[in-house]
Amino acid sequence: MSALLNALQKTVFARLTADAELMALVGADGVFDHHRSARAMPYLLLSKSEAKVLAEGVEEHLLSFEAWSRAMGRAEAQAIAACAARALDGADLALESGGLARLALRTSAARRKEGSGAVLVELGVRAVVSVLTMS
């Protein structure tokens, strides 16, 4: 499964970083898949991914994203999350590994991270990935 997960993440990152509105909000290096302690906010983080086999050649991947901001209120974090959601919800993405992913937004939740002054908007995205086979 890791080959499909890696291909999916690469394609999702390409989709997100091609979104001009999102990149204007978070900056050129503002989308990533691991915490960077020195990274200034705002940013969008792929925080978690889970995968399971649904059937032969079909996998389900659950991706969790976090939009972080220190701006007053929730508007900036919500705008980042909204851009990511628009870019991913309903997308049919061709994967380098010969697969196809269909994405759908599942969840969205906003909260203030206690003690940090930061706002966090979490997005849950479901991807159904099919391995394409040559007939």
Each residue's pLDDT, cut to its tens digit, for the chain (135 residues) gives 567 888 899 999 999 999 999 999 999 989 998 876 677 899 999 999 999 999 988 999 999 999 999 998 899 999 999 999 999 999 999 998 778 899 999 999 999 988 888 999 999 999 999 887 655
Alpha-carbon gap, residue 121 to 66, rounded angstroms: 6
Q: How many helices and strands in the chain, by DSSP H and E?
A: 3, 6
CATH of 2-131 given 3.30.2000.20, 3.40.50.2300, 3.40.50.300, 1.10.150.20: 3.30.2000.20
Residues 6 or more apart whose Cβ sits within 8 Å of residue 14: none
pTM: 0.90
AA identity, residue 20? A
